[in-house]
Structure 1
Amino acid sequence: MPDTTSRRRRPWPEVSRTAPIRALLATLATLPKFPAAPPCAADPAQFDLYVPRETPRAALDRWRRAEEVCLNCPFLAACLPLAGSGVEGVVAGRVCGLSGLPPQPPSVLEYSGPSRSGRCRYRVDAAELRRRARAANRRRAHERQLERRGA
């Protein structure tokens, strides 16, 4: 019978689920300290990526409500660096962590049914993106016009 007591135990590998948390903590350490709590602190579950037993359409509605809170938040500019840092959920008015999509505002997402693996699929509404781009272009053109008149 072989001696099993002489075997060395291998150290446990670092759990990959902790990497996003460490990235969040590192990013949060670089942010300025705020005098008051941000509005998202009142209901943090609203900003989660997934909630158990929630339908995809309900999740989309919840993300859109969270987007409204973010867009009216005085600390929005401070949260923008977090949007691409590996944090999952609604961050700086964008849904982060959806498979196959970069961070997107919830208002441009549509539910497109379950995937073959059984996970929910979301896609970007191209018409809404074009509408937003046109509106941003009109705003920039208007600002340039105002600058020319003032100069």
Structure 2
Amino acid sequence: MKSKDLQQVVFRKYEDGDGPTKNFRDLNDSLGLATIKRWCKMIRDTGSIQLSKSPGGPRFARTSKMIQKVKHKLDQKKMVSVRSLAKDCSISKSSSHRILKEDMKLYPYKMRIEPKLTEEHKNKGKKIVNWVGHNF
């Protein structure tokens, strides 16, 4: 159920005379008791449930403007690490990671340092593999 639907259910049940705890039990823990009590107080005071602002904190990093900025960065460079992206856009590493995964459906990569192997290293490795294969 969406929040508006839950608000309407609580409003109707409260008008019918059900208290906050009865509403809480009837809704099977889909809402917290404190929320239901707060809504009932709003109904008593104003006659309706009007939330002054949307729940949760304001968004700073995952705005549409920031997502466009990240897309522009990816258009310039095909491979960008999460750390460098966060540094360039002045946002946290976790926010840049969320933008890539959740908003853009991409997977970030991690730089891996591979050792430079010479032919001597490769031949030595083959000798060890052959020795292990014959002796064990």
| Larger relative strand fraction | 1
Is the helix fraction higher in 1 or 2?
2
Task: Say which one has the larger Rg.
Answer: 2
TM range (shorter): under 0.3
TM-score for the superposition, normalised by structure 1: 0.23
